[in-house]
Amino acid sequence: MGKIVEDGMSILNPNIETMDRKKLLELQLERLQMVVNQAYSNVDFYRKRFDEIGLNPDDIKTFEDLKRIPFTTRKDLMDNYPYGMFAVPLRDVVRLQFPLGMYGNPIVIGYTREDLNIWSELVARIMVGIGITEHDIIQVAFNYGLFLGAVRFNQSAELIGAAVVPTSIASGEVQVRIMQDFRSTVLASAPSFALHIMETIQRKGIDPKTLSLKIGLFGAESWPEEVRQSLEENLNIEAYEIFGVTELIEPGVAGECLAKNGLHIFEDHFFPEIIHPVTGQPLEQGREGELVLTTLTNHAYPLLRYRTSDVTSLNSQPCSCGRTLARMSKVLKRTDRMICVRGINVFPEKVEEVLSGFEGIGPGYSLTPRGKRGMNDHLTVGIEASPKILGGKEQERISLKQKIQLAFRRAVGIGVEVEFAKGEELS
């Protein structure tokens, strides 16, 4: 499967991935007009939006016209919970996903069989692009319970004939044992968890050269370049990034190639824009701003100009790998207050929601993520507590802390440390 280009790099879908950009723009425009029509005809939310501002789907003839369509935000998705954003009847939907840790109403994302097939191909494109073949054994150490896209690695690996070992979040010891026994050649995980596995290997005094590992595929949280260097050196691998957006597909919107010089966005399925996060004005190419994506082929859940809150920049110059798809820079910042701990998204709004379920605490609180090398693996929640609680019995405070910790685990999916404080100590 795939075509080997001159320099030995492999491309799964060369017709698309190396398409002349003029032709690509034509394809995008054609698909854009289709998705706008589909959204207008089948999603009440979009029909109302368009009617309110007197916009007709047929008015969208160019990419310039796209700017006339208002942004779609996370709040819109919540307001239309559960099925208000769906463009197909439920009988055509074969997968429903709702990300934990969102605040307010949950978000439910639907996929048709065709949507899932496309998604699998996109992750497979990334795998092939970084040299994964049917000879590889991919150890998937993503949290299958909380990172909804983890299962996509299984489907995509099947597409290219590679073997998958879903180790999920088994302990570092177990991961290393499996890595040795099964001779895993690829590690796919959140970078913070890869660091944890790396430290286990070091603690056990294992020489990474004795492992079969050669490739790392990391995503679900942002990671600085120094983490890449550390993982590459200490695990004796080449490390690549895979990127996704929870509300569209995650992972699989974009991924790095062997050049490690930006993440190719799958522009045949997503139309990217970069906007100023405050004014909403589109920015010229190369400028850093908020990534806005329009889905071009989603059947069940089309999103027009969706604000991702991820900060990046775009580059459509040709890449040394031969791909013509634009590249986005590594996402290291967000426009909202979301923080990421061990690959799990934590919204401050969700924290407030959890705290509001208890008496005598809040409204003040503080979030202190901790971890090595700029990656968060612990979260301490400082909580304003009433004098009655602070001056009360130790046993009662411990019991309340445990209840709050349990509520966090249920609502956000991670364990946190809880500390009580006076309100003024938290500012």
Least distance to Zn ion from the beta carbon of 326, Å?
Answer: 10
Pick the closer one to Zn ion by CB: 180 or 261. Answer: 261
Least separation in angstroms between CB 323 and Zn ion: 5
Closest approach, Cβ 261 to Zn ion, in A, equals: 7
Which C-beta is closer to Zn ion: that of 249 or that of 319? Answer: 319
The least distance separating Zn ion from the CB of residue 273, rounded to whole angstroms, comes to 21
* Closer residue to Zn ion, CB minimum distance, 123 or 141: 123
For residue 262, give both structure tokens: 């930006």
C-alpha 305: how far from chain center:
17
Q: What is the 3-state secondary structure (H, E, C) of the chain?
A: CCEECCCCCEECCHHHHCCCHHHHHHHHHHHHHHHHHHHHHHCHHHHHHHHHCCCCHHHCCCHHHHCCCCCECHHHHHHCCCCCCCCCCHHHEEEEECCCCCCCCCCCEEEEHHHHHHHHHHHHHHHHHCCCCCCCEEEECCCCCCCCCHHHHHHHHHHHCCEEEECCCCCHHHHHHHHHHHCCCEEEECHHHHHHHHHHHHHCCCCHHHCCCCEEEEECCCCCHHHHHHHHHHHCCEEEEEECCCCCCCCCCEEECCCCCCEEECCCCEEEEEECCCCCCECCCCCCEEEEEEECCCCCCCCCCEEEEEEECEECCCCCCCCCCCEECCCCEECCCCEEECCEEECHHHHHHHHCCCCCEEEEEEEEEECCCCCCCEEEEEEEECHHHHCCCHHHHHHHHHHHHHHHHHHCCCCCEEEEECHHHCC
In the bound state with Zn ion, the residue whose beta carbon lies nearer, of 15 and 210, is 15
To Zn ion, the closest distance from the beta carbon of 301 in angstroms equals 28
Nearer to Zn ion, 110 or 272 (CB): 272
Give the nearest distance from C-beta 260 to Zn ion in angstroms: 9
CB of 19 or CB of 146, closer to Zn ion: 19
Nearer of residues 77 and 326 to Zn ion, judged by Cβ: 326
Output 32 or 328, the one with its CB closest to Zn ion: 328
Question: Which amino acid, one-letter code, is at 345?
Answer: N
Q: Is 17 helix (H, G, I), strand (E, B) or coil?
A: helix
Paired tokens of 398: 């411990």
Q: How far is the CB of 295 from Zn ion (least distance, A)?
A: 23
As measured in angstroms, the least distance from the Cβ of 319 to Zn ion is 3
- Minimum distance of Zn ion from residue 12's CB (angstroms): 13
Nearer to Zn ion, 7 or 64 (CB): 7
Binding site for Zn ion (CB under 5 A): 257, 259, 319, 321, 323
